[in-house]
């Protein structure tokens, strides 16, 4: 797996490089600004880019903006955004461009190496990885008349794992269910969200978006 890291903090950048290289990935380049990211990502052609949210010069949300811009220029370009804190506004922005290949995780998740690499691989192969904290926050606000209200407790669990980006097989493993019942739950979620039949990968992202924007 060829990875580009966009991170201005040397400690964090080197930590990430160390971890990725020990785990068998190739770090093609470590970039320090959003501008570098946008101008050189074409030539590096990585399988996935990891970017921090805060980058020079203003240290606000350059990373999120650059990721969105890069994905406008190269649709489907896999980008994993890492942040010191999560804000569902950003995850909705990142996902709103449709196609998968997007991740948005707390920096803390790096310490769970297996889970982190799993998320990174999912993003590289066009899937999604949304931080559990974003999803927990969305479940915390219980709106009247939100489509979430119509879901059963089990369906919520399934949706939350699906939103994080897990496949049916992993969801089945994590909830100790059969894959058949997982697909049944997902079918119910699609129906309750009024999502018309469509190819299933697309529908998954749309279900997650409905959830993020609910």
Footprint of other proteins (CB under 8 A) = 53-54, 60-61, 84-85, 87-89, 107-108, 111, 137, 140-144
To the nearest whole angstrom, how small is the minimum distance from the Cβ of residue 61 to other proteins?
4
Phi-psi region of 13 (alpha: psi -120 to 50; beta: other; left: phi over 0): alpha
- State the DSSP code for 46: -
Question: For residues 171 and 151, what is the distance between their CA atoms, to the nearest angstrom?
Answer: 17
To the nearest whole angstrom, how small is the minimum distance from the Cβ of residue 199 to other proteins?
30
Cβ closest to other proteins, residue 140 vs residue 197: 140
Three-class HEC string of 114-149: HHHHHHHHHHHCCCEEECHHHHHHHHHCCCCCCHHH
Helix or strand (DSSP H, E) at 208: helix 200-213
Cβ closest to other proteins, residue 60 vs residue 152: 60
Cβ closest to other proteins, residue 39 vs residue 111: 111
Question: For residues 103 and 110, what is the distance between their CA atoms, to the nearest angstrom?
Answer: 13
Nearest alpha-carbon partner for 104 in 116, 115, 114, 90: 90
To the nearest whole angstrom, how small is the minimum distance from the Cβ of residue 213 to other proteins?
9
Cβ closest to other proteins, residue 36 vs residue 61: 61
Cβ closest to other proteins, residue 39 vs residue 84: 84
To the nearest whole angstrom, how small is the minimum distance from the Cβ of residue 76 to other proteins?
26
To the nearest whole angstrom, how small is the minimum distance from the Cβ of residue 83 to other proteins?
8
């Amino acid at each position: 797996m060829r990875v580009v890291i966009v991170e201005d903090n040397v400690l964090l950048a080197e930590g990430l490089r160390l971890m990725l290289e020990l785990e068998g990935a190739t770090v093609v380049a470590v970039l320090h600004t959003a501008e570098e990211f946008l101008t050189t990502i074409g030539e590096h052609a990585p399988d996935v880019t990891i970017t921090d949210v805060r980058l020079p010069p203003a240290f606000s949300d350059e990373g999120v903006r650059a990721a969105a811009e890069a994905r406008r220029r190269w649709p489907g370009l896999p980008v994993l955004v890492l942040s010191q804190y999560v804000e569902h506004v950003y995850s909705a922005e990142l996902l709103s461009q449709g196609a998968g290949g997007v991740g948005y995780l707390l920096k803390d998740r790096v310490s769970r190496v297996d889970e982190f690499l799993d998320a990174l691989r999912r993003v590289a192969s066009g899937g999604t990885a949304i931080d559990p904290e974003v999803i927990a926050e969305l479940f915390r606000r219980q709106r009247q008349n939100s489509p979430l209200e119509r879901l059963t407790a089990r369906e919520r669990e399934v949706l939350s794992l699906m939103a994080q980006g897990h496949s049916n097989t992993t969801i089945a493993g994590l909830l100790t269910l059969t894959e058949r019942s997982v697909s049944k739950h997902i079918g119910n979620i699609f129906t309750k969200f009024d999502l018309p039949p469509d190819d299933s990968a697309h529908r998954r992202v749309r279900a997650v978006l409905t959830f993020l924007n609910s």
